[in-house]
Amino acid sequence: MEFAPDDLETLRRAKERLEHPSLAVRLTDVLGAPIERSLARLPRKWAGAVQTAARKSIEKGLAFAVSTLKGRTPSRHSRSFHKIAVMTSGATGGAFGLAALPLELPVSTVIMLRSISDIARSEGEDLDSPETMLNCLQVFALGGRSEKDDAAETGYYAVRTALSAAVSEAVQHISRRGLTREGAPALVRLIAAIASRFGVVVSEKVAAMAVPAVGAVGGGLINTVFMDHFQNIAQAHFSIRRLERTYGADAIRQAYHDLAR
């Protein structure tokens, strides 16, 4: 299939962002300290705390998506506005250290979700659709790598395929009953799957916050990088979905894989 040159370039840029979404490297560039080293220094109990915070943040994000995203009109300046908002949240959290994570992370996650939804709308998505809402949440799973991944599970389309059944079932459940987790194992599975990947990126953020003397200014800077990371992932993901609507999902998937060759 022949692709318009601009569309092929959009696909190339999207693949570059999605297949190399390293937040740790960017945080290391900003802070001048290897994040992997800081991760090794974190107390073991923080692994469970981070995963719990990630799961609760995704749950709050889903509730927010269902209750407030419908009918919204995106703003041209939303990216900058949301970066300022999440920077403020990070600065507040940074002032109180790692102990503030369970309170700060849900706030920053919801702010990021607002920005992600604006990006989705700009790429032609319908924010009244439960599928779009869940794809906004799915961005959090695309921005990190689970420690359980093997080589076959780390690619963009591999992650989408792994989540597709749970997303489809969750869409049907929300369409019929709204946001209730009772009798909805698909919602539970979807939240758990997204949270496990989101938790990896959150761990990198926590490691950055654990760097000595980060404080409020550093917390705001870390959150700005955090936001920019997921804005880039969202732009790539929803631009690919736009191309799939134009050329067909199979054609775009094949072109995506052909770019590597």
Alpha-carbon distance of 200 to 182, in angstroms, equals 28
What pLDDT is stored for residue 161 in this prediction? 92
pLDDT digits (tens, 9 = 90+) for 113-166: 888 988 998 999 998 888 998 999 999 999 766 555 544 456 899 999 999 988
pLDDT higher than 70, residue 81 = no
- Cα dihedral value 108, 109, 114, 119, nearest 10: 110
Alpha-carbon distance of 51 to 196, in angstroms, equals 7
What pLDDT is stored for residue 253 in this prediction? 95
pLDDT digits (tens, 9 = 90+) for 1-57: 789 999 999 999 999 999 886 788 888 887 777 777 777 777 777 778 888 888 988
Alpha-carbon distance of 2 to 38, in angstroms, equals 47
Looking at residues 202-214, what average pLDDT do you find? 76
Looking at residues 57-80, what average pLDDT do you find? 66
Cβ contacts of 16 within 8 Å, gap of 6 or more: none
pLDDT higher than 60, residue 96 = no
The span from the first CA to the last CA of the chain, in angstroms, equals: 17
What pLDDT is stored for residue 46 in this prediction? 77
pLDDT higher than 70, residue 230 = yes
Q: Between these two residues, 216 and 131, which has the higher pLDDT value?
A: 131
Task: Count Cβ neighbours within 10 Å for each residue of 196-226 and write b for 16 or more, e otherwise.
Answer: bbbbbbbbbbbbbbbbeebeeebbbbbbbbb
What pLDDT is stored for residue 151 in this prediction? 45
Lowest-pLDDT choice from 64-73, 143-152, 181-190, 245-254: 143-152
Cβ contacts of 25 within 8 Å, gap of 6 or more: none
- Reported as a pLDDT band with limits 50, 70 and 90, residue 77 is very low
Map tokens 């959090």 to a residue.
140
Token pair recorded at residue 136: 């906004």
What pLDDT is stored for residue 209 in this prediction? 76
